[in-house]
Chains A and B, each alone.
Chain A
């Protein structure tokens, strides 16, 4: 069953110089128990998409979509209050810098207990505080923190970034969400802790059937832990489909460049040889090119590229490019 179904999501920012289209017609769908990676460089709008899903963008952003449904319910029709209730029940999100997202003035234990919804505790009201504490400890154990006594009694600044992120995950899974959105969960962490966290997320996905939307700018880690992949560039969806299929044969020049720029996917590359890189840099939001936004940097750009390409489909593989890399002559 489709959990989340978004078609042509557009997010615009109102500025004195007019509307800036930060996210341009992005489609995204998630089935139950699916893990999907959302990859893009900084400024590609991947965090915006996530924030639009959970509805935490402020009023300066204008969000429109052709279709935006959560478990068959159209989220654009329901009232803001209703929407908040549904999302609060079903979707959880973890943020980039855990030590900054936790409340620095409260103990970790208090924050964790607060995140557990009362409806999940069955017992009489006088038992609830006790049950709540028990549940909090169980949650900490679940994310792999054994020393719950000390952790519950600490403030966020006393803990390492990795532990903070685990606490954030514990808070996120406290309400048994159907979808967990992880927005760059590992940028602040070291490589050994990173692997631990990804394994943790993967185990929740397998054991509880929790769908995971993993947002990151690092293709290699996302590719290892997800089934499906969506690639964003400058707010446009360039390619989406099965992860292994995309890695094996990308259709869009941007995905192709992204894969080739990571040494991990190029086992035959000699050490110290130059990496493949697109010229130029990511345009700023004020100076977006018209049409396909990769245009000025694209090696295969032609005249037609000033028109925005439509999302085309080849089996289960979506891409938006006028001149896809369909032949298997490169690489």
Chain B
């Protein structure tokens, strides 16, 4: 199994202006982890623990202050997102709010392809159709506007937008939390199926420990910007090291 993503010593500080001095806020401090292709890594932590900062650093929305990100063994400058957005895709918490309500779904998918690939119009059309089918949507859904979909279908559309570039890694930022139980089960099944078929790797950022236990291979617990616990999911659940992890696992079980 090849290592897809290797992060070592990642750090990020934010600065708050306080008169003439600046106050340093450490969002992320010396975080390292590895993710193999076809595996799922769950990142757990409370708000303000740096989960979302980590996700932002990985997709290049923010630049890290220190640390190295390696993609398939090569060190990359991830904030050059034009180059790397094929490999790492991001799914937001609320699919309904992250889609443009004025744009048809087909148009939205077409834009993604137009900006990021060299496919011509015909190839793009074929690709869109194929992706929609892969996610259990129909061809005519390309002509729909986001408000015409139900919650679960919207999440599928968001997945389609992420998967249309055939990424290697998908970052799910609380993407499963807001869904209803039966829809969540459907989406989880879909994600598991995609992982088995295409060897997709997931980085799952969530608070739902039951879900973490079910779908992730490894987990990383962040506490105040630092890695509190990491390792195989089953091991962390069975034998938590850090006090915060113990508290978290006790509260969920």
Contact = CB atoms under 8 A, between A and B. Distances in A.
Interface of A: 41-42, 160, 190-192, 194-195, 217-220, 257-258, 261-264, 269, 271-278, 281-282, 284
Interface string B205-230: 00111110111000000000000000
Contacts of B152: 281
Contacts of A281: 150-153, 183
Contacts, number: 76
Given A263-B213, A263-B214, A281-B152, A191 B207 contact: yes
Interface size class of B (residues with CB under 8 A): 20 to 34
Given A41-B181, A41-B182, A261-B184, A191 B251 contact: yes
Contact of A272 (B192, B251, B252): B192
5 contacts: A41-B182, A42-B151, A192-B247, A261-B182, A275-B188
Contact of A191 (B189, B193, B248): B248
A284 B251 CA distance: 35
B186 interface: yes
Contacts of B185: 261, 275-277
Given A264-B210, A282-B180, A274 B215 contact: no
B233 interface: yes
Interface string B123-141: 0000000000000000000
**Interface SS of A by simple majority:** loop
A192 B182 contact: no
A277 B150 contact: no
B207 A190 contact: yes
Contacts of A192: 46, 247-248, 251
Given A273-B192, A274-B193, A276-B185, 7 more contacts: A42-B151, A191-B207, A191-B248, A191-B251, A192-B251, A264-B210, A277-B189
B227 to A, nearest CB: 18
A218 B181 contact: yes
B251 A258 contact: no
B47 interface: yes
**Interface SS of B by simple majority:** helix
Nearest to A219: B181
Nearest to A194: B251
Contacts of A282: 150-151, 180, 183
Nearest to A283: B150
Contacts of B182: 41, 257-258, 261, 277-278
B214 A191 contact: no
Closest 5 CB pairs of A and B: A261-B185, A277-B185, A41-B180, A275-B185, A195-B251
Given A191-B248, A192-B46, A218-B181, A274 B189 contact: yes
B26 to A, nearest CB: 19
Contacts of A218: 181
A263 B211 contact: yes
B153 A191 contact: no
Nearest to B193: A274
Contacts of A274: 188-189, 192-193
B180 A190 contact: no
A171 B57 CA distance: 41
Contacts of A194: 251
Contact of A275 (B180, B189, B213): B189
B215 A271 contact: yes
Interface string B183-199: 11110110011000000
Contacts of B186: 277
Contacts of B47: 160, 190
